[in-house]
Amino acid sequence: MVDSLPDSPAGDGALLLSRLPGGCGVEIRYFRGHEELVSEAGPVWCGMALRSIEGYYVVCADCHVPS
Ligand SMILES: [Zn+2]
């Protein structure tokens, strides 16, 4: 369940999500407030589909396109 999707400027440690598949594949090692996601899902990389948030993909700051 997601009450508010991250909409923060890139580079502040927030998890960036995209509705569009694809990404550069870089490993995303840490994002503030989502440590539990890393511990549950293991390595997270740019373009990885999120199981916990259906229809969204993790992206890095370089690939994130603000809506
Ligand atoms: Zn990327």
Show pLDDT as tens, one digit a residue, over the chain (67 residues): 555 555 544 445 567 889 988 899 998 876 666 667 667 767 888 999 987 788 999 899 899 887 6
Q: What pLDDT is recorded for position 5?
A: 54
Q: What pLDDT is recorded for position 23?
A: 93
pTM above 0.95, yes or no: no
Ligand 1 center from residue 48 Cα (angstroms): 10
Burial track 42-55 (b if 16+ CB lie within 10 A, e otherwise): eebebbbebeeeee
Ligand 1 center from residue 51 Cα (angstroms): 18
- For the chain, domain boundaries: 1-67
Ligand 1 center from residue 66 Cα (angstroms): 14
